[in-house]
Chain A
Amino acid sequence: MTNSSNRYTDFRAEDFICDPFFQEWVIAPNEEKELFWKDFLANCPDKNEAVEKARAVLLNISFAEHLPSDDLVQRSLNRHLEAILNSEGGKVVRMKPFTSRFGKLLRVAAVFGGVALTLFLATQFFRSDKAEKLAVQTEYGKLKQVLLPDSSSIVLNAHSKIEYNKDWNKSKKREVWLEGEAFFDVRHLNQDTMNVKAHDHFIVHTEDLDVEVLGTSFNIRQRRGKTEVVLQTGRIKLSFKDNSHEDIIMKPGEVVTYNPEENDFSRTTAVPENYTAWKEKKLLLNNPTVDEIAAYLEDNFGKKIILQDDALGERKIEGPILLTNLDDALFILSTVLSTEVIRKDSSTIILRHR
């Protein structure tokens, strides 16, 4: 850009502020611009104050910064690369065989982290012509992130399992079978609500109910005969396998729990984030009793927790419990309850009054 310095001889501070060429110097100075304005000020020293004022105003404008965590960026990149791979894999004839393309993607993804996840995808990819169903499960005390062929993502809580067909045919519904607890972030494939195709549907099957969605995020916890579904965003449909209840369309923030054995059913609203705090290794139940917390820890860590008496189990505990490992969780519990932790044997823990 060229500009004549004559233009600026009558400028006041506010004129400088609004002048794009002047702004350019403040936003992205370079030698050329520095030279121009130095030269101008040398010729019009009376403009010094106006220029400085204008600069100060512009330099002072700032915005709060919201940067994503590196982890989020990497996961998103991996998800995207995987989605590209899938979309290209769908076309049979290609100049380059997409295994080599995948190898390239794999290397790139590895550079940016998420290696374990990518390796998981790779094994899934190369085995894809053998097994009919793929299963991913977690040990006690461990979480796992799973990327599905449609680039939906699942965070699998400890001691849980999902299964899905290796072949995600575009003409079929997307289906996942869950035991345990998982958070689902389902990719919405089709924004056109008037024309929903089979593949746009995503179904999670649990022992007692099915959750059907188009694209949303939600948490399902299926333990001890009880299934609990918490919707974070979007809309989902629940259908009950024994037809004991009508189908339910859930709205964000709703929680539905169902236990056919005990004929227990409830539909309430809550803060959905509390139900998914386990992803951040925190347990944030709603005003829970010690019994409920102990049951949760048992399910996640695979140890038996015995409370000295019933009164202890009925006490309520506010605030988060760390789930980083069982010791941390027990430490918090025992501090709040003033109990001691006794390890009876490798699989049994007793909380006893101090």
Chain B
Amino acid sequence: MKVAYKTTFVLQPIDMDKQTWQHIIDGDQEAYSRIYIGYFKKLFNYGRKFTVDETLIEDCIQEMFMDIWGKKEKMLEVDSYNSYFYSSFRFILFRKMKNAGKTVQSNEFEDEPEFSSEYLLIKRETDREMQQALHSALGELTPRQREAIFLRFYEGLSYEDVATILNISVKATYKIMARSLLTLKEHMVLPLVLVIALLRMGELRG
């Protein structure tokens, strides 16, 4: 029995484990469709932070699910479905973005695609000065730091999953996360009154 979490994200975590996957292999197409739709929404949202090309994103998700279907028996051995789905999607997306970059003869994509800084938000409208301070702080984060924060605090993934997706060690993930969080905190000089107000709102929301 699962505890009903109150979460801060709109997209609910996906219920996915070996048992569900076994059902899928046995022919439970409904479960499969549910998984497809669930991950489609999440990965679409994730991919949109790297590119605005929605056709490309859709293509990558298609390709990823085709790959997975092709080795569906092997998928039973996967430890973390989340990190598997996110990292294969990310891998395909980056490859395709690089290929696309080549055909339009742009050097833009020589490095890894960047997690856009425009989309990191601070939830509540605060005063303008603070907004600006925060905005510059967000710009100071590297794309990788932004992505790490996204995966951990928006997607709610574990440090181990984030490490797998970013293809770095768990230790390095701790480092990246701490550094980005402190940068954010630095610029979030919340007056205590506001803090309490926020917490109340949080409680109400939950």
B7 and A28 contacting across the interface, CB-CB below 8 Å: yes
A60 and B198 contacting across the interface, CB-CB below 8 Å: yes
In the assembled complex, which residues on chain B have CB atoms less than 8 Å from the CB atom of A111? 30, 33
Q: Does A52 contact B (CB under 8 A)?
A: yes
In the assembled complex, which residues on chain A have CB atoms less than 8 Å from the CB atom of B192? 49, 53
The dominant DSSP class at the A interface is helix
A63 and B177 contacting across the interface, CB-CB below 8 Å: no
Q: Does B41 contact A (CB under 8 A)?
A: yes
Q: Does B132 contact A (CB under 8 A)?
A: no
With A59-B198, A68-B44 already in contact, the answer to whether A84 and B5 are too (CB < 8 A) is no
Number of residues of chain A lying within 8 A (CB) of chain B: 60
Q: Does B22 contact A (CB under 8 A)?
A: no
Q: Does B3 contact A (CB under 8 A)?
A: yes
Q: Does A233 contact B (CB under 8 A)?
A: yes
Q: Does A58 contact B (CB under 8 A)?
A: yes
The dominant DSSP class at the B interface is helix
Interface string of B1-44 (1 = CB under 8 A from A): 00101111011000000000000000101101100110011001
With A67-B44, A68-B54 already in contact, the answer to whether A52 and B199 are too (CB < 8 A) is yes
In the assembled complex, which residues on chain B have CB atoms less than 8 Å from the CB atom of A59? 8, 123, 198-199, 202
In the assembled complex, which residues on chain A have CB atoms less than 8 Å from the CB atom of B56? 233
A170 to B79, CA, bound (A): 35
Q: Does B120 contact A (CB under 8 A)?
A: yes
Q: Does B75 contact A (CB under 8 A)?
A: no
Candidates A62, A83, A232; contact of B122 at CB < 8 Å: A62
Interface string of B48-76 (1 = CB under 8 A from A): 11000111101101100110011000000
The 6 closest A-B pairs by CB, nearest first: A66-B48, A64-B119, A18-B178, A56-B195, A62-B123, A108-B29
Additional pairs, 19, CB under 8 Å, beyond known A27-B7, A59-B123, A63-B150 = A26-B8, A52-B195, A52-B199, A57-B184, A58-B181, A61-B123, A63-B154, A66-B48, A68-B40, A68-B44, A76-B36, A76-B40, A87-B70, A112-B33, A187-B62, A188-B59, A233-B55, A235-B103, A252-B103
